[in-house]
Copies of this chain bind each other. A is one copy, B any other.
Amino acid sequence: MKARFALFCILMSPVLFAAPDDDLPVVDADRLNATLDHMKSFGRNDAGGSDRVAYSEHNRAALEYLSSLMKEANLAPRMDVAGNLVGRREGKIDGLAPVVIGSHIDTVPNGGHYDGIVGVMAGIEVARTLYESGVELDHPLEVIVWSNEEGGKNGSRSYAGSVAERELDLPGLGDKTLGDGMKFLGGHPDRLHENAKTPGDIAAYVELHVEQGAILDREGISIGVVEGIVGIRRWNITVDGFANHAGTTPMDQRQDAMLVAALVIADIRRIILSEPGRQVATVGRLQAFPGAPNVIPGKVVFSLEMRDLDMDKIGRLSDRIFASATSIAEENDTRISFEQFYLSPAAITDDSIKTLVNEAADTLELSSMYMPSGAGHDAQSLKDIAPIGMIFVPSRDGVSHAPSEFTSEQEITDGANVLLRTVAGMDNLFK
């Protein structure tokens, strides 16, 4: 069946990809997927995954390849101070801020070949298709390969001026600090402030990415119109009880931090599910002290992460969770405390870009749906600087950050064509 369906697609593709009734071209699907395929060679490991972590030799070699592709697309490449590779084609109208397409090519250790990469390859292909088709934009067009998305988004965050100096000394996912890594790519971390943008410096920003959940894949939908990148809050929750002998301490004399942690974790789910919506909460890490089978834990520390597009909702639900947890702790003769250690505000996408993406999908006769991004992306770094938009394409089984990450050539091509039409629409809209 699959083979027959593929044959059907090949036979039908001239129809499916015929340019709609306007001047806009469609991308070269073969070329796009061939360049994406070539990218796999930079850091492919024995597991079939990618070890192209930020600031590695593989990362640098891949950027050299991308730089040559940019030239073919009439994008003038330059390395900025944060190690971002920026390819730029000037526009027809002088003085306009650029329309920017961004994504990344660095992977987690033993990651996949699609997360981030699809967006970069599609961005360059869109620029090349526009160039070769003789389509000139009013705005300059920039395609940016952000550095180190996976290890801290410091490439894109340098545009927001939010990379603290002390971060440069932090270890990256490879063998270098962030500062040394930027230098390795040709950046100048001591001049990071030169990257900082203000509203107006970028006309509009769009990013194509694989969806890291399985919603599009499961529903068989081609295009996700991203409503925003969810906000994230993370806390360490500490239960203080009393460590005691597991044999000699009767059940009614215990101050069992593990029991309280268990009751609270179950209660978190109850509260999260008590309101409609797509909010999620996760307890991913838990440590018990002293952590021996024959000692009642005197202390348990666990993480709580909550995500939603609506920060107020996160605040309201977390307040309920903490109030309930405090009661549970008191009932069990323990104390509980909550320390937030991470906050990433929600980044809502621009309404007109959402409309452009949706219309592009409609024009191309592709199915689409509105959805939040549960994962973080470089786009969020630019939320206070420019109107932002994101386009999702399916990822098989929602897998990401693993060698088995996969998006089909057809899905990638569809996404690139939506990106092209969205960019053209942004060029018209954001003057």
> Which residues of A does B touch, CB under 8 Å?
211-215, 230, 232, 234, 244-251, 253, 256, 258-259, 261-263, 265-266, 269, 272-273, 278-286, 288, 290-297, 303-305, 307, 342, 373-376, 398, 400-401
Contact = CB atoms under 8 A, between A and B. Distances in A.
A219 to B, nearest CB: 12
A246 B293 contact: no
Copy number in the complex reads: 2
Nearest to A263: B266
Contacts of A234: 293-294
> What are the 4 closest A-B residue pairs judged by CB atoms, nearest first?
A247-B374, A213-B248, A262-B265, A248-B374
Contacts of A258: 265, 283-284, 286
B212 A232 contact: no
A211 to B, nearest CB: 7
11 contacts: A234-B293, A245-B374, A248-B375, A249-B374, A250-B278, A251-B269, A258-B283, A262-B262, A282-B295, A283-B297, A284-B292
A253 to B, nearest CB: 7
Given A265-B262, A282-B296, A284-B296, A248 B291 contact: no
Contact of A291 (B256, B262, B284, B294): B284
A167 to B, nearest CB: 19
A251 B232 contact: no
Contacts of A283: 258-259, 262, 297
Nearest to A304: B293
